[in-house]
Amino acid sequence: MNLMRSRRLMAAAWEGLWGHRLRAALAAGGLLVGVAAVVVMVAVGQGTRNQVLERITALGTNAIWVHSAKRAFSGLRGRTTSAVSVLEPSDAEAIGRLEGAEGATALDTRLVRISGPEGTTDAQVVSSLPNIFELEGQGLSEGRFFNALEERSGKRVAVIGRTLREHLAGENSLVGRTIELKKQPFLVVGELLPKGVDANGNDLDDRLYIPLKTGQARLMGGRRYVGLLLAKAESEDAIGGLTQEITRLLRQRHNLRPGQPDDFSLYTQLEAIQTREESSRIFSATITGVAAVSLLVAGVGIMAVLLISVKERTTEIGLRRAVGARRRDILWQFLAEAVILGLAGGGGGALLGLAAALAVRLFGSLDFALPVAPAVGAGFLGLVISMVFGLAPARRAAGLTPVEALRD
């Protein structure tokens, strides 16, 4: 098909669609919305995935969490269970001395009512050894961290997050001032740099850090166990060996006999990333399914519009066939109309989707690269779907004989 003939064909197809422009616009609009939705969903999915992975990896990919796995049963017939901690600060110190370990700390978190100069709120209080700031990669916006001497002597000092400081004192600094935890005075010695929210949506800046020994004496009723241990391997390659060493060490320290189950469980940051990646793959598969359904619905709409067009233009088809038009000329005319609808719907949907994704990036909290390649792919898919669903009406029109068409 030469260029001149193609131009005439497209012009004739455009003329045919323009005669029923509202109907054609609605058909192309369905495809446009479907393609735009695909582009936006891909962009939001990509942005959410990046944000979650960024939050997970903020602690580093070589972190290892140790939880207590021992459970206590209570209530009639053991209907309820509760975690019983078997972890001690000395376990963290022993883990920190293992080969391949960068360090380890013990911590416990409690929801505590805290009062400041301008307000009172409930917030997470993290009782920990001083090295938690180094292991978590914390920075200071003001003041200092508490030190080992203050931890050993059980000093009532605290390092505060920005969100919590805003709750308690507004825009004013709390460094060097006193706040109250359970009506006990604590001196704020430092404020942390903001860290945002974690993968579970928890605000990491709505926290207060105090020395572990102080927390055990003031908030935990003097108990010696902690809820959690945090260890960091020297590198990702060392995680496998270090987890085995931690397991061996804790079993030895907890006097567990061979065959006896562990009274603790290990969870690495890499496992968290793999879990999130799996969730991301499921999310992407769901998006693909929704996109496929929406595009198929749009394709059915285009086919319906073209079938109606064939029905209405039967006489025109008969006249063209009577004056010498071939079957393939009629076939290409209706396929050309499907191509125009596909270009309008697919191309317009890709552009609309990119504009919507750009708006989400500019005015939302997600940071992602514009999905140009997925937009091009979705637009091309819309064009293909339009042609596939336009093929049946085109074949039907081409199959009409002059006698049949003129008689109808």
Q: How far apart are CA 332 and CA 309, in angstroms?
A: 14
pLDDT at 290 over 90: no
**pLDDT score of 267:** 84
**pLDDT score of 358:** 86
Q: How far apart are CA 349 and CA 32, in angstroms?
A: 4
**pTM listed for this prediction:** 0.64
Q: Mean pLDDT across the stretch 29-35? A: 85
Q: Mean pLDDT across the stretch 343-366? A: 85
Question: Which of residues 284 and 175 earns the better pLDDT score?
Answer: 175
**Region of residue 77 (phi > 0: left; psi between -120 and 50: alpha; otherwise: beta):** left
Instruction: Give the start-end residues of each E strand in 120-279.
Output: 120-128, 140-143, 157-160, 178-181, 184-192, 207-211, 228-233, 264-268
Evaluate whether 65 touches 212 at the Cβ level (below 8 Å).
no
**pLDDT score of 193:** 93
Question: Which of residues 314 and 230 earns the better pLDDT score?
Answer: 230
Instruction: State the chain's mean pLDDT as an integer.
Output: 84
Q: How far apart are CA 300 and CA 10, in angstroms?
A: 22
**pLDDT score of 199:** 60
pLDDT at 84 over 70: no
CB count in 10 Å sphere of residue 153? 10
Amino acid, res. 19? G
**pLDDT score of 319:** 82
**pLDDT score of 165:** 94
**pLDDT score of 126:** 94
What sign has the CA pseudo-torsion 57, 63, 64, 66?
negative
User: For residue 143, what are the β-bridge partners?
Assistant: 190
Q: What tens digit of pLDDT does each residue of 292-349 get?
A: 787 888 888 888 888 888 888 888 878 877 777 788 888 888 888 888 888 888 899 8
Tokens representing 195 are 């860290």
**pLDDT score of 91:** 92
In this prediction, residue 408 has a pLDDT band, given cuts at 50, 70 and 90, of: low
Q: Mean pLDDT across the stretch 268-293? A: 74
In this prediction, residue 407 has a pLDDT band, given cuts at 50, 70 and 90, of: low
Return phi, psi of residue 222, to 5°. 80, 10
Tokens representing 307 are 């079938």
Question: Which of residues 381 and 71 earns the better pLDDT score?
Answer: 381
Question: Which of residues 271 and 171 earns the better pLDDT score?
Answer: 171
